Amino acid sequence: MEDFVKFGIIGVGAVWRYHKIGTKNNSKIKFVSAYDIDESKLRNAEKYSQLKTYTTLDEFFKSDIEAVLILVPHYLHKDMVIASAEAGKHILCEKPMAPSLEECDEMIKATKKAGVKFMIAENHRFLPAHQLIKQMLEKGFIGDVMLGRTYEGAYCAPNEFLDPDWWHFCYDKGGGGVVADQGVHKFTMLNWFLGEVDSAQCWLGKTMNSPPNKGEDTAIILLHYKCGAMITVDLSSTTVHPLTNRTELHGTKGTILEDHSWTDPIKVFSTHPEAEIKGEFYSPKVEHGSYPAYYKISMGKEDDYFASCILEDKMPEFTPEQAREGVAVVLLSYLSAKKGSMANMEELVKVYKTSGTKSILDGLEGIVQKNYKFLNWN
Ligand SMILES: NC(=O)c1ccc[n+]([C@@H]2O[C@H](COP(=O)([O-])OP(=O)(O)OC[C@H]3O[C@@H](n4cnc5c(N)ncnc54)[C@H](O)[C@@H]3O)[C@@H](O)[C@H]2O)c1
């Protein structure tokens, strides 16, 4: 086997750019070919990325590749993953894994049957600042986490956002609004830090008058974890600032603050023996850059890690089952919003076993709070 992995790209849209720049000069990865339904995107991929392009999936799979990077709208993730598994390709597929738990199950079954490596491209797991927080939590820097909050604000251009044909945030193609699109990052990260969620309470809002086929642009979710931590998740795709994320965790022995827009993204207050400064906030050094650098860094490390798993024949530490748990918290949040009260995991499992988790999205538009009525965007 060669000492690099040849990848084909399925869907050379917006996020392809970050995978490309994140892996520039990475000798483990060669991007070889691309498949897309948009021929103009394929022409760009030929011209600017020197990819061999295909307009049929069958021909694409015959190109000289052993792995695929799937970067298509969420409703297509399942079919693309299954087709790639059946073609014997290792698979790195963008988040969220899929809009429903049943689709996640089918993806897991098909990839296991084919014996290919399969990882969801959850770049938040690979951001050095998040990896450092995980290490500090494991070492007990802040004791047992009891309280916290996390925020993602990813301002979307209103002309795209309000367009009913732009698939992001659509119930059918995106699997919901900001909770599905951005919230899944936070839920997957928090599960990694804190373990499993047992219940959620969620509010959904629209700050812009987007078409009815689009989900919420703003949400607040209160999560209760089995470990006893209570966390607030604030999400928006309309808040006005360069894209950023922020997390605050308070434990029985200290506090960690993190903000992607800070040069040194972490501040820690701890008396742990390994704390660089005890009893005062300090900022440990960690590789970072505010938007867009953190995309490049985290996606570069994620893609590098997946290539190493193939080259070294090891199973990715971030499993598809863990990615499915992130989707479960998305659906639990929607279930709570729909009920207008707290929902717990047992209720979600009941829906899974009866009407199916896709049914949770039915009628959501009716309960989204139309807050744009009170806001002046002009
Ligand atoms: N990790 C992150 O921070 C991050 C950031 C942005 C997007 N994403 C994820 O990346 C994925 C793609 O998002 P995007 O913003 O690049 O979307 P996009 O709309 O810009 O690109 C999607 C591409 O898929 C192509 N496509 C659509 N239908 C297709 C089909 N049937 N067959 C082949 N190609 C098809 C489109 O032509 C387009 O080129 C999503 O899962 C999204 O959530 C992740």
Q: Write out pLDDT tens, residues 106-119.
A: 999 999 999 999 99
Q: How confident is the model at residue 355 (pLDDT cuts 50, 70, 90)?
A: very high
Instruction: Identify the residue whose C-alpha is closest to ligand 1 atom 19.
Output: 13
Q: What is the pLDDT of residue 164?
A: 95
Asked if pLDDT for residue 17 goes beyond 70, the answer is yes
Q: What is the pLDDT at residue 158?
A: 84
Cβ atoms 218, 371 nearer than 8 A: yes
What pLDDT does residue 212 have?
Answer: 97
Identify the pLDDT of residue 205.
98
Question: What is the whole-number distance in angstroms between the Cα of residue 255 and the centre of ligand 1?
Answer: 36
Give the mean pLDDT of the chain: 97
Cβ(141)–Cβ(222) below 8 Å:
no
Beta carbons of 290 and 242 less than 8 angstroms apart: yes
How large is the average pLDDT for residues 29-44? 98
The residue to which tokens 């434990």 are assigned? 251
Q: Provide the pLDDT confidence category of residue 185 given band limits of 50, 70 and 90.
A: very high
The predicted pLDDT at position 114 comes to: 98
For 204, left (φ over 0), alpha (ψ -120 to 50), or beta?
beta
Q: How far apart are CA 37 and CA 45, in angstroms?
A: 13
Closest CA to 69 of 117, 125, 26: 117
- 335 pLDDT band, cuts 50/70/90, is very high
CA dihedral 136, 139, 143, 149 (to 10 degrees): 30
C-alpha gyration radius of the chain: 21
Query: What is the reported pLDDT for 108?
Result: 98
For residue 312, pLDDT over 70 is answered with yes
Q: Find the 70 Cα to ligand 1 centroid distance in Å.
A: 8
H helix or E strand, kind and range, residue 120:
strand 118-121
Q: Whose CA is nearest to atom 39 of ligand 1?
A: 13
- pLDDT reading at 319 higher than 90: yes
Q: Name the least confident of 152-161, 191-200, 286-295, 343-352.
A: 152-161
Q: What are phi and psi of 255, to 5 degrees?
A: -145, 145
Query: In this predicted model, what pLDDT tens digit does every residue of 229-284 receive, in sequence order?
Result: 999 999 999 999 999 999 999 999 999 999 999 999 999 999 999 999 999 999 99
74 CA closest ligand 1 atom index = 41
User: What whole-number distance in Å separates Cα of residue 247 and Cα of residue 45?
Assistant: 36
* pTM for this prediction: 0.97
What is the 167 CA–ligand 1 centroid distance (Å)? 9
Q: How much distance in Å is there from the Cα of 260 to the middle of ligand 1?
A: 23
> What domains sit in the chain, N to C, each tagged with a CATH number?
5-122+308-315 (3.40.50.720), 125-295+324-372 (3.30.360.10)
pLDDT at res. 68: 98
CA neighbor of 73 nearest in space, from 166, 208, 179: 166
Which residue's CA is minimally distant from atom 1 of ligand 1? 123
Is residue 1 scored above 90 in pLDDT? no
Percent above pLDDT 70 for the chain: 100
Instruction: Classify residue 340 by its DSSP letter.
Output: T
Q: Which of 19, 58, 81, 94 to mutate to test the pocket of ligand 1 (most atoms within 8 A of CB)?
A: 94
Mean pLDDT on 329-358: 98
| Distance (Å, whole) CA 367 – CA 203 | 9
CA of 42 to the centre of ligand 1 (A): 13
* pLDDT score of 227 more than 90: yes
